[in-house]
């Protein structure tokens, strides 16, 4: 979510695209609790490449067959589907989160996934992962947990309800965002949003100008500061309380 000044795409040195789960800073998020060194070595054979995306670059197109899942290492992505001529944003993927999971049920991706900013991903071959799940049952349970978490993240925002006023929906989005970044071990002191106001509006089912006005108003709450794409979270607990009050009104 915090845009870096690195080039959109860099040429990797020989072997630089090979990832090792045992050395990854995101290991606690991806790996099941109690995983043994020998099991991690098996995982190294499943996570076989690193993928770098430039801002706006497509990771996978809607309708493509399921071949891999991806874990976001840095940057952020959006998943969108088309309704006629209109694109609808249905999810955002942040560091430590799983992308491409929408294809697990039917074998084909239901969304187009695109980088919101320069992003780095781990690519996990799906069939290899499923085969490894038979040998490491706790890995299979961890995958189910990650899939469940992905669905829950979107439910948290939608649970505010389409009838809630715009400020409540925008606040729910920002609180959810902060909690996800904190879960990945990232600072929420100052966050630069990778997504545009148009992306947020599409995701929340609001007009872009409505989102802009709501951002100004929620930025006046204690515990939150909003300046264009920069957001500072000073007191998450106060924001959760404000969200509960807004959702109940």
CATH number, domain containing residue 172: 1.10.10.10
Q: CB 28: neighbour CB atoms within 10 A?
A: 11
Based on the fold, state whether residues 42 and 146 are members of the same structural domain. yes
For residue 114, what are the CA distances in angstroms to 6, 75, 109? Answer: 18, 11, 13
Residue-number span of the structural domain to which 215 is assigned: 160-248
Asked whether residue 182 is domain-assigned, the answer is yes
Residues 144 and 164 in one domain: no
> Tokens 């430039």 map to which residue?
54
Per-residue pLDDT of the chain (249 residues; tens, 9 = 90+): 544 333 333 333 334 444 566 666 565 556 555 566 666 666 666 676 678 999 999 999 999 999 998 989 899 999 999 888 888 999 999 988 889 988 988 999 999 999 999 999 988 888 887 777 677 777 667 666 666 666 666 655 665 655 578 899 999 999 999 988 888 888 888 899 999 999 999 999 899 999 999 999 999 998 899 998 999 999 999 999 988 887 776
Please provide the DSSP assignment of 178-207 as one string.
HHHHHHTT---SSEE-SS-HHHHHHHHT--
98 vs 146: CA distance, rounded Å: 7
Please indicate, yes or no, if residue 14 is contained in any of the structural domains: no
In which residue are the tokens 């006046």 written?
220
Residue labelled with tokens 């049952």: 137
| Rounded CA separation 172/174 (Å) | 6
| H/E stretch holding 214 | helix 208-218
CATH of the domain at 55: 2.60.120.10
Burial of 69 (0-12, 13-18, 19+ CB in 10 A): buried
């Amino acid at each position: 979510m915090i845009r870096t000044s690195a080039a959109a795409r860099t040429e990797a040195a020989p072997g630089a695209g090979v990832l090792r789960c045992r050395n990854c800073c995101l290991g606690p998020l991806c790996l099941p609790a109690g995983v043994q060194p020998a099991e991690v070595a098996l995982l190294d054979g499943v996570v076989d490449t690193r993928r770098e995306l430039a801002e706006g670059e497509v990771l996978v197109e809607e309708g493509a067959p399921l071949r891999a899942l991806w874990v976001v290492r840095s940057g952020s992505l959006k998943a969108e589907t088309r309704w006629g001529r209109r694109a609808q944003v249905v999810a955002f993927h942040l560091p430590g989160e799983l992308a491409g999971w929408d294809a697990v049920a039917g074998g084909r991706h239901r969304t187009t996934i695109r980088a919101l900013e320069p992003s780095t991903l781990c690519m996990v071959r799906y069939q290899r992962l499923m085969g490894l799940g038979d040998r490491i049952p706790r890995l299979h349970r961890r995958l189910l947990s990650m899939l469940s978490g992905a669905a829950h993240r979107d439910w948290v925002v939608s649970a505010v309800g389409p009838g809630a006023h715009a400020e409540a929906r925008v606040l729910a989005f920002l609180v959810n965002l902060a909690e996800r970044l904190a879960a990945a071990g990232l600072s929420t002191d100052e966050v630069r949003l990778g997504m545009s106001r148009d992306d947020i509006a599409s995701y929340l089912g609001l007009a872009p100008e409505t989102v802009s006005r709501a951002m100004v108003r929620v930025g006046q709450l204690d515990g939150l500061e909003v300046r264009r794409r920069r957001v500072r979270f000073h007191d998450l607990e106060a924001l959760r309380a404000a969200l509960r009050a807004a959702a109940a009104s």
